[in-house]
Amino acid sequence: MINVAILGFGVVGSGVAEVLSTNAEKIAQSAAQEIVLKYILDVRDFSESAYKDCFVKDFAVIENDPSVQIVVETIGGVGAAYDFTKRAILAGKSVVTSNKELVATHGHELLELARTKNVNYMFEASVGGGIPIIRPISQCLAANEIFELYGILNGTTNYILTQMIQNGVSFESALRDAQEKGYAEANPSADVKGFDACRKICILASLSFGSQVYPESVPTEGIENISLTDVEFARSAGGKVKLLGRSVMREDGRIACYVAPHIIGENNLLSNVEGVFNGIVVRGNAIGDVMFYGAGAGKLPTASAVVADIIDSSKHMNMRKYIYWEEAKPEMMFDPATIVSRWYIRTSAGLSQAKKVFGKVSVLVSEGAEFETAFITERMSKIEIEALVSGFPVLSLMRVLD
Amino acid sequence: MINVAILGFGVVGSGVAEVLSTNAEKIAQSAAQEIVLKYILDVRDFSESAYKDCFVKDFAVIENDPSVQIVVETIGGVGAAYDFTKRAILAGKSVVTSNKELVATHGHELLELARTKNVNYMFEASVGGGIPIIRPISQCLAANEIFELYGILNGTTNYILTQMIQNGVSFESALRDAQEKGYAEANPSADVKGFDACRKICILASLSFGSQVYPESVPTEGIENISLTDVEFARSAGGKVKLLGRSVMREDGRIACYVAPHIIGENNLLSNVEGVFNGIVVRGNAIGDVMFYGAGAGKLPTASAVVADIIDSSKHMNMRKYIYWEEAKPEMMFDPATIVSRWYIRTSAGLSQAKKVFGKVSVLVSEGAEFETAFITERMSKIEIEALVSGFPVLSLMRVLD
């Protein structure tokens, strides 16, 4: 029997309790033992909850109870979550989390601490919600040199872009719609400005390449400036606008990460990843391309990934699992602005002027766009394109994913 | 250090040797120890091979060498492969394989034998080539009750169908093309008649539902009778013809499996799985739908999955891993002919006659089809549709995947 404590009874925390209860039989079978929810830490009043006897308000109760072997941290953020995670590990407990911000900013430190205490720190739910991705990368693709990964990592922005593409609604009204449906927060910055996707690509890159990539080292653009005109021009080029997190390993072994909206072709598998869903492509030297798709957020999908980690951890008590990465190695990073691609440009300038500046371009046609031109350039780096657009009246600039 | 022996130096076996050598550093890091290729069993002459010192012709050499801890079986079939696998397990060695036929027909017996000997029997490469699917189902989705899985499980038939759909070539010439490219065997029956997909859905269903599903209990149709006219009618309905293996759990917990061509909608993620690629959808009660995509066959992708199993097994010496299923339970199966769906019918009869027999139908229009009608029925079981078509001049009958 394994005793579990959940920290934070919000969406994911309550989902974990629900999955543990609904699928108890299957879970006990998978774990080869019973998993018992002993405590829930939350300062709010849950005296009406079915789990009311589990609630405690003081983390020390959990910390000091040696019968608790696994702590589930679903508080979020890097405050109490960080403190409690360290204390739980120091108390010899394994920790399972969905907290991408904490893993992206303190992953190495917490993995190192878990290693010294011979316990597990697991976070399958931190990227792609319920989509299996952390374990496939660390186990199933272990025989591969991974040289690139990219994906639609944020369901909120993908929902907004899908609304713009499919229903022709503006960014602002798609965002309001997402907020009404509960897909976007009242303050949507973390999603819309790309910070959430940035944390996730940091976790995937750290895991794939073996050393911590911190969010502050990753250039991040959001989708606030994407207009319906861009969506229409992209469509005329047989493409869709998608916000991607991307990490690339260069031939010399150095890596770069960035987050930005891209135009992707209709034949790219990610092109059919719509609404709040996520899709992640991993490229390895033996496997080629593999893609993982599913619900990138939501109570039960995310909880299902947390519970998978609980099961795995319960089968590896007193035995460290495989997940680890080293401290950041700034000398191993290269500037993503040197990555070459074609570029989409929308401008108020005329075509002849554009050709003078950018040379050979493919012109895009959209009926709705008056007094505007859009085109796709030849392949060049961001440094080169930014030098060219300096002084040129650019309304929108986006990479085309080749 | 772990010593490995490869049985059979064909496409996959030689790929395993290549991946072990090319990615040696990454593999040693993942396994936390060196993986050494000690023997290769093959009766042919490989005196020019880079691995020439490894070759042996007598399995007993491997069987009786206690320093060999992992045996890779890439012989295929259920003859020598079956015999050597049993002997290797009985000699206390873990076995890793890509042999879907052996796993589908003797999986339970070999898993049970491995359990009694406390070694591992692993087969990530047996389904979906290099796509991570066995481990995600058994680990990442362990907190879910899986209630359905279906997928494009055979790259050869998907290549043929893709050629028919994209280039308008006939089944016969697409097959010849696949044979010339090495995607199809000289005798293509196992692929074209659906037997290969059948073995794979058996493995996925056995793993997901916990008891062996034998290929002979799975109704299996291939793609030999799919014509370009069907492809065109499907297109007019906004769909594509794809060969699917499918397994469904009914609410009473009973399961059914079958293999058959289906018409799937353009918005289904599998619709973009083209050419030799595979895609597998798993539906769980917490996770919802997840999809896995990648190269379903090929030397290096398949070898990469085999090597991932070698790494995993080498980290779990003297410790059984999670994979197991029980003997078949015929009483837990239900007849897939009772599963309800819409149906595509192509006929030489007129529309008014069709309506008399099938009631409300959606008529399909294809310019190329003279003297033929096609339509999609309302939802009904295969038993019901077969009763209706008895005596009706049916040219083609296919499920529509809802």
pLDDT digit string, tens, across residues A34-45: 999 999 999 999
pLDDT digit string, tens, across residues B264-319: 998 888 998 999 999 999 999 999 999 999 998 889 999 999 999 999 999 877 66
pLDDT at residue A317 is higher than 80: no
Instruction: Measure the CA–CA gap between A340 and A384, rounded to whole angstroms.
Output: 9
Q: What is the pLDDT of residue A297?
A: 85
Instruction: Measure the CA–CA gap between A385 and A380, rounded to whole angstroms.
Output: 7
Q: What is the pLDDT of residue A118?
A: 92
* Contact between chains at B144 and A304 (C-beta distance less than 8 A): yes
- Smallest CA–CA distance, residue A27 to chain B, in Å, is 6
Q: Is A301 part of the contact surface with chain B (CB cutoff 8 Å)?
A: yes
Using the structure block, give the residue that is written with the tokens 């009926």.
A367
HSE on the CB side for A69, CA within 13 Å?
19
Mean pLDDT of all residues in B165-189:
93
- Smallest CA–CA distance, residue B81 to chain A, in Å, is 24
Using the structure block, give the residue that is written with the tokens 């890596």.
A255
pLDDT digit string, tens, across residues A66-79: 999 999 999 999 99
| CA-closest candidate to residue A204, choices A104, A116, A105 | A104
Instruction: Measure the CA–CA gap between A377 and A368, rounded to whole angstroms.
Output: 22
Residue A140's pLDDT band (cuts 50, 70, 90): confident
Instruction: Measure the CA–CA gap between A173 and A181, rounded to whole angstroms.
Output: 12
CB A145 within 8 A of CB A261: no
Q: What angle do CA B83, B211, B149 make, to 5 degrees?
A: 110
pLDDT digit string, tens, across residues B24-65: 999 998 898 999 999 999 999 999 999 999 999 999 999 999
Run of H or E including B248: strand B239-249
- Smallest CA–CA distance, residue A116 to chain B, in Å, is 17
* Contact between chains at B294 and A290 (C-beta distance less than 8 A): yes
Give A258-274 as a DSSP string. EEEEEEEETTSGGGG--
pLDDT digit string, tens, across residues A334-359: 999 999 999 999 999 988 999 999 99
pLDDT digit string, tens, across residues A272-304: 899 999 999 999 999 999 999 999 888 999 999
Instruction: Measure the CA–CA gap between A91 and A117, rounded to whole angstroms.
Output: 8
pLDDT digit string, tens, across residues B344-360: 999 999 889 999 999 99
Residues paired with A94 in a beta bridge: A70
Instruction: Indicate which of B134, B137, B290, B309 best probes the interface with A, i.e. most A CBs within 10 Å of its own CB.
Output: B290
In chain B, % of residues over pLDDT 90 = 88
pLDDT at residue A1 is higher than 80: yes
Residues of chain A with Cβ-Cβ distance to B293 below 8 Å are 269, 289-293
- In chain B, the residue whose alpha carbon lies closest to the alpha carbon of A298 is B287
Instruction: Measure the CA–CA gap between B231 and B300, rounded to whole angstroms.
Output: 32
pLDDT at residue A244 is higher than 80: yes
* Contact between chains at B288 and A294 (C-beta distance less than 8 A): yes
Q: What is the pLDDT of residue B202?
A: 98
Q: Is B299 a catalytic residue?
A: no
pLDDT at residue B84 is higher than 90: yes
- The four Cα atoms B384, B387, B389, B390 give a dihedral, to 10 degrees, of 170
- Ranking A184-193, B199-208, B238-247 by mean pLDDT, the lowest is A184-193
In chain B, the domains with their CATH numbers are: 2-130+299-325 (3.40.50.720), 134-295 (3.30.360.10), 339-400 (3.30.70)
pLDDT digit string, tens, across residues A389-398: 998 999 999 9
| CA-closest candidate to residue B299, choices B101, B16, B8, B1 | B16
- In chain B, the residue whose alpha carbon lies closest to the alpha carbon of A123 is B140
Q: Is B304 part of the contact surface with chain A (CB cutoff 8 Å)?
A: yes
What are the structure tokens assigned to A350, written together?
């005329």
Mean pLDDT of all residues in B141-152:
94
- Smallest CA–CA distance, residue A40 to chain B, in Å, is 19
In chain A, % of residues over pLDDT 90 = 88
Mean pLDDT of all residues in B191-215:
97
Q: Is the C-alpha dihedral spanning B180, B182, B183, B189 positive or negative?
A: positive
Give me the helices (H) in A193-298, please. Answer: 195-209, 228-236
pLDDT at residue A316 is higher than 90: no
* Contact between chains at A136 and B140 (C-beta distance less than 8 A): yes
Give me the helices (H) in A224-376, please. Answer: 228-236, 299-314, 351-358
Q: Is A145 part of the contact surface with chain B (CB cutoff 8 Å)?
A: yes
Inter-axis angle of helices B155-167 and B171-180, nearest 10 = 130
A153-182 residues touching B, CB cutoff 8 A: none
Q: What is the largest CA-CA distance in chain A?
A: 74
Mean pLDDT of all residues in B218-224:
98
Q: CB-based contacts of B214: which residues, under 8 Å, 6+ apart? A: B104, B105, B202, B328
- The four Cα atoms B173, B178, B180, B186 give a dihedral, to 10 degrees, of -90
CB A248 within 8 A of CB A402: no
Q: Is B21 part of the contact surface with chain A (CB cutoff 8 Å)?
A: no
ipTM of this predicted complex? 0.90
Residue A192's pLDDT band (cuts 50, 70, 90): very high
pLDDT at residue B321 is higher than 70: no
pLDDT at residue A114 is higher than 80: yes
Which residues of A are catalytic, by number? 200
Q: What is the pLDDT of residue A366?
A: 83
Run of H or E including B95: strand B94-97
pLDDT at residue A369 is higher than 80: no
Residue A309's pLDDT band (cuts 50, 70, 90): very high
Run of H or E including B146: strand B146-152
What are the structure tokens assigned to A300, written together?
């039960």
Instruction: Measure the CA–CA gap between B219 and B255, rounded to whole angstroms.
Output: 13
Mean pLDDT of all residues in A232-261:
96
Taking the mean position of all CA atoms in its chain, how far away is CA B223?
Answer: 15
Q: What is the mean pLDDT of chain B?
A: 94
pLDDT digit string, tens, across residues A201-234: 999 999 999 999 999 999 999 999 999 999 999 9
A197-256 residues touching B, CB cutoff 8 A: 210
- Smallest CA–CA distance, residue B352 to chain A, in Å, is 37
Instruction: Measure the CA–CA gap between A8 and A4, rounded to whole angstroms.
Output: 13
pLDDT digit string, tens, across residues A5-38: 999 999 999 999 999 999 999 999 889 899 999 9
Beta B277-284 vs B394-400: how paired, if at all? Answer: unpaired
Instruction: Measure the CA–CA gap between A204 and A138, rounded to whole angstroms.
Output: 10
Q: What is the pLDDT of residue B43?
A: 92
Residue B176's pLDDT band (cuts 50, 70, 90): very high
Check B200, B242, B299, B382 and give the catalytic one: B200
| CA-closest candidate to residue B68, choices B42, B96, B47, B46 | B96
